[in-house]
Amino acid sequence: MSILHVRPDQEVPPVPIPGQRASSEPMTPQSGLRIVRLANFVMSRSGGLRTALRNLGEGYQDAGHESILVVPGKKAGDEMTSYGRVITLPGTMVPRTGGYRLMLGRRRLSRVLEDLRPDRLEVSDRSTLRWTGEWAKAHGVPSMMVSHESLAGLLTVWGVPAGVGGSAADVLNARTARQFDTILCTTAWAAAEFKRINTPNLVEVPLGVDLDAFTPKHHDPAIRARFAREDEALLVHCSRLSPEKRPELAIDALAALLASGVKASLVVVGDGPRRAALAYKAARLPVRFAGFINDRTTVAGLLASADVAIAPGPVETFGLAALEALACGTPVVVNAASALPEVVGDAGMAVPGTGEAFAEGVKTLLERPEEERRTAARARAEQFGWPAAIEGFLKAHGATSTPRASATPGA
């Protein structure tokens, strides 16, 4: 692994990595495409977006293409990983977000892109990196914006009146659609705001879930016993603890269940700016905060050992954490306002965004025979494998899949 150390105002020079094609070397059909991916609002402790970037990168590499991911960080870096080359640029800290940083220097990032000479540009940030679509057009590079959030939904969460927010979203979305060759949405719910303005370059490709890492085989009575008694239902909420995720609804649901006579406890997996406020809110309730857990096997054990998962976010455009719970055989109660109802299907319950409604959803799922609800959850998850998602993304890029003879070395 090679590491760069530069000041934020310095140009990031190209770093030769053994076995990597020099940036001046022409692309040939046999060597695949160089797909440069840009993402803000991602860090080592973030969740769904980081998972998607990793799995897609591994898929691109395995399909015979070169994946280069450019993200912000505390300091500059350049390393080879199992999901391709990862370049870190010094980023500006965003207050009250729990550590997110942004790549804000357009000149610096433009120089990096010019040096990398991408064959395709894939961007996972509809706000601060939208300008890179124009860069791609100016340099003759086909570009794709991946919509990981609903702009209209976020504006509503931030307190913008629905009518005003919808109109503003339409204007900004139309601008985005003009700047990029392809707009990719992962659910019909996410695509709806682009369909509303008749976006011609829109494609829909669902994300996936690691069906080998997240499996009912991780169900462990010992893990369950750590968080709930035998006569209690164990609930789990796995997400970043930020305002748009509405994590307080999971605590409200637990309180409503207890008030109705249902014995239950809750374990919260994740961290974020709402952590302290949530701990205060849950002070007299059987809630355990597990914090951020980087080990996927540990997370899978918690998900598989719970009775019901809760996904209260109203603007989730896909919800990987909910899908991981389903893969572990655990049904999910989701916010009816989000895209999750189309993801969980009959294996979950879609309810309005109140604690009482989520409590009723939990009760309904618990009334189903355990084997039946767990089998249905796993069967639903099996409809969302990563191979199909990767194939869909590559097709959107106009790329083919030519598996490599050997695996890319891990970090």
364-398 burial, b at 16+ Cβ within 10 Å, e below that, comes to: ebbeeeeeebbebbbebbeebbbeebbbbbbebbe
**Which pLDDT belongs to residue 7?**
35
From first CA to last CA, the distance across the chain in angstroms is 7
What is the C-alpha separation between 357 and 78, in angstroms, rounded?
47
Output 380 or 405, whichever has higher pLDDT.
380
Q: Three-class SS of residue 393?
A: helix
Same domain as 222, residue 180: no
pLDDT at 15 over 90: no
What are 59-88's pLDDT values in tens digits?
A: 999 999 999 999 999 899 999 999 999 999
**How many separate domains does the chain show?**
2
405 domain-assigned: no
The strand pair at 92-93 and 84-90 is best described as: unpaired
26 domain-assigned: no
The strand pair at 84-90 and 77-81 is best described as: antiparallel
| Average pLDDT score over residue span 387-391 | 96
User: What is the pTM (predicted TM-score) of this model?
Assistant: 0.84
CA dihedral 146, 64, 320, 118 (to 10 degrees): -30
pLDDT at 287 over 60: yes
Same domain as 39, residue 140: yes
| Average pLDDT score over residue span 6-17 | 39
Same domain as 239, residue 361: yes
Q: Report the chain's C-alpha Rg in angstroms.
A: 22
The domain spanning residue 200 has which CATH number? Answer: 3.40.50.2000
404 domain-assigned: no
336 domain-assigned: yes
Same domain as 262, residue 354: yes
Same domain as 135, residue 82: yes
Provide φ and ψ at 403, rounded to 5°: -55, 140
Among the listed residues 338, 328, 258, 264, the one whose alpha carbon sits nearest the alpha carbon of residue 300: 328
Same domain as 286, residue 196: no
User: What percent of the chain is predicted at pLDDT more than 70?
Assistant: 84
Same domain as 329, residue 202: no
Same domain as 359, residue 253: yes
Same domain as 182, residue 281: no
Return the bridge partners of 408, or none: none
Structural domain containing residue 228: 216-381
Same domain as 299, residue 151: no
8 domain-assigned: no
